[in-house]
Chains A and B, each alone.
Chain A
């Protein structure tokens, strides 16, 4: 039983390295927060490591880019004249008639990367940066921009934050989305200059006191950047750059960025970023964003003092390298504090990708490309139906769950989305999603067989509760769960006998269905309880 004293502990725990017990509960907590759901194979794997080794491994992200999305759409309704089925479209040529099909391919591909994620934080971190530097593909439209943008986020996800901001600034998708490409010396467009400060680096907390004039001056610094639509790069157009001096407010120490003419005008961006990144608020703001994503949304004064400020100091000392911050956070007493576990309401993506991974749903491999993409598409579309549409957050602020005071993560769950989540798990358990000869479904027997002793009702129920929930449930609840497995019988041995009979004769349909139907009804119940919404 978690008590009030732990509540008090929580605000006192800081970034000291966690030295407490390192058992399954801790492994699961770490994996739930750094990956999409804690899948059994990953739990087993990381249980063999120490806490420190596990965190190190999760933070060691691959530098090899995944193979890019491909044409999965030459199926008669649309035909790509340049790219064959199975070949990638990310190198062009551009084809506006195929934006819909390629965007679908891109979103499905990204969902596939999440479902098939390796044992690292990379996928969740890339999604974090996508939310942080929010762009909407329905606005910039070209899926090749979208792919390149995503590849850039992924390549820099565990790199240097300042470099990442520079890359984002010059990224064609962003130049299009926030009108940077229309920012000219005669008619400056302030859109990007504003969001660069308000959303991407400084935030709008009380210690972020940049002024409207600073927005205007920054916009002038950023004039002249354009997109080369042929090779999907950005370039600097000196004759559209405002080469006058830019004078900033007292918040920036009245700093002046000297205007530069010709090609040298491009260098002003570095001066602007140097000026912004000199502000201590940048590190604090980004650490608060990371905290809200990976730990909990509520940042009280204790968390600010004991966690955010020291993390920000680490960030600055590391010249804005991201990894030391995450390492300190995930190895901290604060992260493993019992009072901070299980309190994140799953986002749709966390819910769906986690469900697929935890229930070990088997999807077709690349030899069945059309089917493979189809099920990935279902995965992202279901998330979109629950208000989390990959590559299409609602606006430049990203998803409200990560900034909207006071609800934050609670926004994900409402009277529309919660029944919808339960329908999804119900359908995957009871029915299936079918495409051609392939299906997407939860095999309840397979989920039981992830554990050592499915023939014991008590063991299986404890295993599933610990696997799918962050909180234990009452003994009444467990008794009820057992009655589902026993369909009202009172002896555990009836389940054990039925399970053993199935194991001894697994191809016997009646024996198989006898255990399958009972496991389905238990699993449906387990996944429908409120506890399953927490991570």
Chain B
């Protein structure tokens, strides 16, 4: 066995044995790589924290339409929050927050919380699984997408990933899912762009080096050995650990560890950001919002109960996190967004709960949200029936598109390709874009490849950038059935970097492959036409 250079070979994806018609998707060999060293550019240093509220949050008891109180009380009398307990928002007459959300009320009053009313999508699906997939992939209700919207965004920004990652431009995970289930949200065009700290003990093991014990047998000895190798071969493990060691929390608002699992996760996120991690996306979650029964307390008043507890945790956690960011001087760079797969039914059930519904409010938070309420209170009819649902006022994908444009500074054409369609953009954020498209184009070269394309996914056209050593270059395009449909380059090309544009206006949507051949070296990569 040859001794191998640990640093060189410890990338999470070294050689993909993923083949198409006999051609390895990433060919074996040592390609000449596009230079990644010492480019001077300003990275976008914006961070987005996604808070997934699993289960379907009851929006009507979260952001309470005070002007609809009478009709709403008829529809859900057994769970209605007493009007006197509803938290009044500064400068807002007809909308209030659940009484458990005092911390977030404070954020709202300080302009750090943005409420977006009635967010959903046409033809809502009431299955948790299906609707979660729709929110994570940003698909239409009747459409199945296999990549997540964050994954597509990161594929667009880092088209070479995972070849040659980590590197000096991007030494850290592109996305981190902390204490969260692995979801499709970070699934990119060909690989998952995220690193999930998925083992319940792995995160703490990364920070502390402690693992749960193995049996004291031969098998236990070998298991320890494999675990050690697994830890060593996690290319990002050391980066995360170092950031964890360097970083620190400053806020005293965090509750005692173990009492609020969302706060615990966000505390780690703040620690990692303050430790210098360049990761752009963090995904955390809080589950339990599937409140079919006992959403409110049977005896202690409707302002108490499981939903109140969850909203209290949410509110406390977000506020402590925001306070921490401010004290750490990171609040200009970080914002957060909550989402849940659906809202709940207008009419409550007899078990002191609510069943699956449709549109619901979303929260954005941070220094750079405009603050206030976007949209109107839902209107509740006096004759609402058990099967009625709230229609959407805003498509959730409009919120995503707005974040891509105004937080991650994408061009409109890029937003459209990442979102696979054109969506309305909303006026939710202050103008903080400090990264030019030229800078982002430079960053795209990060990683190793002799060929790459952008945007990916694409709509009408995509640019294939490739490298020539002065010899013969062949670039072929294969359709999803692996048939050769186009040859873009078949010539002797001068040494250097070149680009060729592929016109895709007449192609059906699907996964295409481009194959690059330079001498004996070849590489085949997937790209997605989304519309």
Q: Could you list which residues of chain A lie within 8 angstroms of chain B, going by C-beta atoms?
A: 1-4, 6-7, 10, 296, 298, 338-345, 374, 378, 381-382, 385, 387, 400, 404, 409-411, 413-416, 418-420, 423-424, 427, 431, 433-436, 470-471, 474, 476-477, 479-480, 483-484, 487-491, 494, 498, 509-510, 513-515, 517-518, 521, 524-525, 529-531, 533-534
Given A416-B9, A474-B212 in contact, is the A487-B233 Cβ separation under 8 Å? no
User: In the complex, what residues of A have CB within 8 A of residue B184's CB?
Assistant: 517
User: In the complex, what residues of A have CB within 8 A of residue B233's CB?
Assistant: 414-416, 418-419
Q: A410-B225, A434-B19, A534-B223 given. 9 additional CB < 8 A pairs?
A: A339-B218, A345-B226, A423-B13, A423-B15, A479-B200, A488-B52, A498-B127, A498-B129, A515-B129
Any chain A CB within 8 A of the CB of B14? yes
Query: Which of B90-98, B282-290, B448-456 sits within the interface?
Result: B282-290
User: In the complex, what residues of A have CB within 8 A of residue B129's CB?
Assistant: 487, 489, 494, 498, 514-515, 518
Bound Cα distance A423, B15 (Å): 8
Any chain A CB within 8 A of the CB of B482? yes
- Chain B interface residue bracket vs A: 35 or more
Given A385-B15, A419-B14, A471-B223 in contact, is the A488-B133 Cβ separation under 8 Å? no
Contact of A342 among B130, B201, B219, B482 (CB under 8 A): B219
User: In the complex, what residues of B have CB within 8 A of residue A514's CB?
Assistant: 127, 129-130, 133
Any chain A CB within 8 A of the CB of B155? no
User: In the complex, what residues of B have CB within 8 A of residue A400's CB?
Assistant: 1
Specify the main secondary structure of chain B where it touches its partner. Answer: loop
Contact of B200 among A340, A476, A518 (CB under 8 A): A476
Contact of B19 among A385, A414, A433 (CB under 8 A): A433
Any chain A CB within 8 A of the CB of B422? no
B199→A534 contact, CB < 8 A: no
A-B contact pairs, 22 of them (CB 8 A): A2-B215, A3-B215, A339-B218, A343-B219, A345-B226, A382-B17, A413-B225, A413-B229, A414-B1, A414-B229, A415-B232, A416-B233, A423-B14, A427-B16, A471-B214, A487-B128, A488-B181, A490-B287, A498-B129, A517-B146, A533-B226, A534-B219
Any chain A CB within 8 A of the CB of B221? yes
Contact of B218 among A343, A477, A531 (CB under 8 A): A343
Chain A's closest residue to B13 (CB) is: A423
Chain A's closest residue to B196 (CB) is: A525
Contact of A419 among B13, B144, B198, B225 (CB under 8 A): B13
Contact of A415 among B15, B199, B221, B229 (CB under 8 A): B229
B22→A374 contact, CB < 8 A: yes
Bound Cα distance A524, B196 (Å): 12
| Residues of B205-233 whose CB lies within 8 A of A | 212, 214-223, 225-227, 229-230, 232-233
Shortest Cβ-Cβ A-B pairs, 8 listed: A343-B218, A488-B54, A342-B219, A415-B233, A2-B215, A530-B226, A343-B219, A416-B9
| Residues of B114-162 whose CB lies within 8 A of A | 127-130, 132-133, 142, 144, 146
User: In the complex, what residues of B have CB within 8 A of residue A436's CB?
Assistant: 21, 482
Any chain A CB within 8 A of the CB of B18? yes
In the assembled complex, how far is the CB of residue A272 from the closest CB belonging to chain B, in whole angstroms?
34
User: In the complex, what residues of A have CB within 8 A of residue B287's CB?
Assistant: 488-490
Any chain A CB within 8 A of the CB of B183? yes
Bound Cα distance A491, B353 (Å): 15
User: In the complex, what residues of B have CB within 8 A of residue A434's CB?
Assistant: 19-21, 482
Any chain A CB within 8 A of the CB of B12? yes
Bound Cα distance A530, B13 (Å): 17
Chain B's closest residue to A432 (CB) is: B18
Bound Cα distance A400, B190 (Å): 36
Contact of A487 among B4, B54, B146, B232 (CB under 8 A): B54
Contact of B223 among A4, A494, A515, A531 (CB under 8 A): A531
Chain A's closest residue to B6 (CB) is: A415
User: In the complex, what residues of A have CB within 8 A of residue B132's CB?
Assistant: 487-488
Bound Cα distance A413, B13 (Å): 15
User: In the complex, what residues of B have CB within 8 A of residue A474's CB?
Assistant: 212
User: In the complex, what residues of A have CB within 8 A of residue B6's CB?
Assistant: 415
User: In the complex, what residues of B have CB within 8 A of residue A409's CB?
Assistant: 222
Bound Cα distance A517, B139 (Å): 15
Bound Cα distance A409, B180 (Å): 34
User: In the complex, what residues of B have CB within 8 A of residue A420's CB?
Assistant: 14-15
Contact of B219 among A385, A470, A518 (CB under 8 A): A470
Bound Cα distance A49, B221 (Å): 32
Any chain A CB within 8 A of the CB of B194? no
User: In the complex, what residues of A have CB within 8 A of residue B232's CB?
Assistant: 415
B17→A424 contact, CB < 8 A: yes
Any chain A CB within 8 A of the CB of B55? yes
Given A343-B218, A410-B225, A415-B232 in contact, is the A381-B182 Cβ separation under 8 Å? no
Given A7-B217, A410-B225, A416-B9 in contact, is the A480-B52 Cβ separation under 8 Å? no
Chain A's closest residue to B235 (CB) is: A419
User: In the complex, what residues of B have CB within 8 A of residue A382's CB?
Assistant: 17
User: In the complex, what residues of B have CB within 8 A of residue A509's CB?
Assistant: 144
Bound Cα distance A518, B22 (Å): 30
Bound Cα distance A344, B226 (Å): 11
Any chain A CB within 8 A of the CB of B10? yes
Given A2-B217, A487-B128, A510-B144 in contact, is the A378-B17 Cβ separation under 8 Å? yes
| Residues of B421-438 whose CB lies within 8 A of A | none
Chain B's closest residue to A415 (CB) is: B233
Bound Cα distance A181, B4 (Å): 37
A480→B200 contact, CB < 8 A: yes
B216→A489 contact, CB < 8 A: no
B201→A476 contact, CB < 8 A: yes
In the assembled complex, how far is the CB of residue A473 from the closest CB belonging to chain B, in whole angstroms?
9
User: In the complex, what residues of B have CB within 8 A of residue A494's CB?
Assistant: 128-129
Bound Cα distance A415, B225 (Å): 11
B17→A298 contact, CB < 8 A: no
Contact of A510 among B11, B20, B130, B285 (CB under 8 A): B130
A296→B218 contact, CB < 8 A: yes
In the assembled complex, how far is the CB of residue B308 from the closest CB belonging to chain A, in whole angstroms?
17
User: In the complex, what residues of A have CB within 8 A of residue B215's CB?
Assistant: 1-3, 471
Bound Cα distance A387, B288 (Å): 47
| Residues of B476-531 whose CB lies within 8 A of A | 482
Bound Cα distance A529, B196 (Å): 13
In the assembled complex, how far is the CB of residue B453 from the closest CB belonging to chain A, in whole angstroms?
18
Chain B's closest residue to A440 (CB) is: B19
In the assembled complex, how far is the CB of residue A523 from the closest CB belonging to chain B, in whole angstroms?
12
B216→A517 contact, CB < 8 A: no
User: In the complex, what residues of B have CB within 8 A of residue A483's CB?
Assistant: 181
Given A491-B290, A510-B130, A517-B184 in contact, is the A410-B144 Cβ separation under 8 Å? no
Bound Cα distance A483, B287 (Å): 10
Chain A's closest residue to B18 (CB) is: A427
User: In the complex, what residues of A have CB within 8 A of residue B54's CB?
Assistant: 487-490
B12→A419 contact, CB < 8 A: yes
B4→A477 contact, CB < 8 A: no
Most chain A beta-carbon contacts within 10 A, residue among B144, B219, B287, B288:
B219
Chain A's closest residue to B226 (CB) is: A530
